[in-house]
Structure 1
Amino acid sequence: MKIVIVGGTGLIGSQLVKLLKGLGHDVLAASPNTGVNTITKEGLADALRGAKIVVDVANSPSFEDKAVMEFFTVSGKNLLEAEKIAGVEHHVALSIVGIDREGANPYFLAKLAQEKLIKASGIPYSILRATQFFEFVGGIASSGMVGNDVHVSSAKFQPVASIDVVEALAGLVSQPAKNETVEIAGPEKIGLDEIVIKYLTLKADQRKVVTDDDAHYFGAPVTSDTLTPGNSPIVGKYSYDSWIAVDGNLK
């Protein structure tokens, strides 16, 4: 069975390709780096020919408000149209916990628009909404810079290791499409400020963290309800500390 991973050379995609190949699947990593572009449609039809499952883990190359919305809507439309022509039987997509909550930031709204396209396409689907990856804590710190200090809220969130997300996606691939959305999160809730302090300390980074509950999360207000999952999510194996002990590679 042929499986196409759109965004197959990125953080999640590259791990998923390796895992699925190890399970004996015929897997194609599709990305601009491999000659497949969901915006221009270059190589898209050829990549999907004979595919039964498509997993979309692609990310926008730009996080500017207009650009990110354009990426997820144009890419989503092009990909889903190509899947219909190719006869794809199951569309699996990676999304984000909390994108449909009040006050969502522009990136979250773009992911929500992508989800709506998937649900309206008529293609059987599975959507996995994940909390923030441990690998992105450095980005959270950088986004909170005010002068020489890092301003970040004490709001709780429930981040997850990317490998836990990869394994959950592989689980969805192995099952028939159920036309539903499931969530995955890490095993512990931790303050945004607390995890940034841990990250900077481990990196020997001298930037000062200022706990500021008025600080926005990538352009939008954040509370302890914003970035945490609903009831009964899939729970990953790794806490932040256990992940650091195993991975040891802070981005």
Structure 2
Amino acid sequence: MEITRAKIVVPTIRGWSRDENGNWLYFVDETEKIGYVRITQFSATTAADLNKAITQLEGQGLRALVLDLRFNTGGYLQSAADITDLFVEKGVMVSTQPRVGLPTWETAEKKGTHPNYPLVILINSSSASASEIVSGALSDKAYARATLVGEQSYGKGSVQTISDYPGSGAQLKYTMAYYHLPSGQRVNDRWAQQKQNKKDWGVMPNLKFAMTTEEMKNMLEIERDNDVLAAADHKENGTKLKRHNLQETLSSDYQLDMAILVAKAKLIISGLK
């Protein structure tokens, strides 16, 4: 047995399932050309990978897009800003305010901005940090670029950084700022709000659509089955991995099904239907 030592890069961009060659399937409505992309975390390569996937879909006639940020606990602030920049032509996307010192801003550039087709973003209580920056910025009244569907986000509200600890070879991760959305609204911290008996933390969806624990469990099991790379000799015999078709997948994921419905409604409203 040979074991190869190498750096493992975990892809952060996924579709709703894979084809027989292991490639991601992104269209959840072939007729209306509605695409679906799930972002699992915000790494250094996520924005570039998302841009590649969306460009591929646009070449296949993409007319509306659903971005899934559910269960995405965050990642790099710069990655969140770069992804927001894919959909916004100009203006402040996010700002950070440290306890001491001046605020900093991330601003959008027109170059590389994708067309203004309907955009729907899925969030839930496990969408945190960078997920809240992207969903909050794109739904902010300053742009109103996206419609949020799902549940209230986690409510992290703060930015961390990592610095070298002098003389020991260790690193220190610490909170250094709060972040604010384009209109200036701060994303409130969950625990601070709960201490004051308040519930306005995180980012609120435009369309609140909750799922029960049992419904979420069933959805995640089907998502897991669709995510796994099958062996070349794989057979669906009930004891091994089962692939689920699109109808089965949507029947288990009521939030995604609702997001597609919202995307269709936006197509009608925008006159693209």
- What interval of TM-score do these two structures reach, taking the shorter chain for normalisation? 0.3 to 0.5
Which is greater in Rg?
2
TM-score (norm 2): 0.34
Q: Which has the higher helix share?
A: 1
TM-score (norm 1): 0.36
